[in-house]
Structure 1
Amino acid sequence: MNVIVELRQYTLHPGARDTLIDLFEREFVTGQEAAGITLGGRFRDLDDPDRFVWLRSFPNMAERERALRAFYFGPVWQAHRDQANATMVDSDNVLLLRGPGFAAPDAEGPVAVTICHPLDADAFAHYFERDLRPALAAFGSPARAVHRTEHAENTFPALPVRTGEDVLLWFTPGEAPPLPDLSAHLKTAPQQLRLEPVRA
């Protein structure tokens, strides 16, 4: 079942990532869940010590607005927002997506996310299902939790999301998979993030 998903990439002040993760795991997981938000995977970027990546999901856009208002105007965020914001350089790198969400696998080890900006979103989605997904599976790097851009209006503008772009992305447990030449299908080279799941 597909839901509304946010993929959030935070740029943090040098050395502040573990401070935010400790606060996040202690206060913001249960705080968001109490507001009706489903938390997905939380990750350290293995190639950028100042990047924290995480996901959360909502049944629909109306519930997203309700849940975000409940959390950000509620007591948990109000009590800890200054401490959290002090760790951040930028928290606006957010993709609004539709897909199944993604929780970090239980096993230890890295996770990769591959983010593609197609020239034609529908044509690339067709190519992905027909050609690229089977090729990845045959290589031993099956694509999981495939997401596409959700173009609905951001009804909680206090938290910006990236607009004016289409993406298709997927997750792969393990190392980032090798990809064929996708230049005929994409506006830019694919972005691949190597991520380490946060362990509560």
Structure 2
Amino acid sequence: MVASDVKTNQHSMAHALPLDQLIAELGTDVVQGLADNQAASRLENGGSNELAEQSPVPAWKKFLAQFRELVIWILIAAAIISGALDRRTSARVPFGSVLGVIEHNGTLPDSSEFRPVKAVDLSQTGIAFSTTRWPSSDWVVVMLGEQDNPRYATARVVGCLSKSADPYEKRFEVRCEFEQWLTSMK
């Protein structure tokens, strides 16, 4: 296990921790956020928030990986037995058919994976990433509507204000002073 695996395991269940425990473990302040030096230190120690690039698996390894399956070995045994029992032409058809199925099974997954992988590679090389630095004292606006799915958000809502006193009619929004800055950037 490498150091990055330990870091990943340490924070993989952060969403399930009680808020007080999470704040204590991360050593942060809910109101002030991270100071600039804390953010720089965490960036230096933990690295940037991006996925590590993996080297592609060669096609020959993908083809040979199919031979780890028991079903493939059963098919090979059936082909050999079929070919050995009867040397007539009718017996060679199942032998060749089984070998064709094995070959097809090895190449089909690779060809079906090729297009999506190629599309992801092209999208990563064609996108230029740019960022805007926000001082740690600024706030960020996160608006959640009824149909919004915050599953992909990298923020955790710590508190919210309600526009309505009726619990069945509550509409929540996280209010921030950062809203004026966002409108000025448009």
Q: TM-score range by the shorter chain?
A: under 0.3
The structure whose Rg is larger is 2
- Report which of the two has the higher share of strand: 1
- Bigger fraction of residues in helix: 2
Q: Which has the higher contact order (CA 8 A, sep 6+)?
A: 1
Q: Which TM-score applies when normalising by structure 2?
A: 0.22
TM-score, normalised by the number of residues in structure 1: 0.21
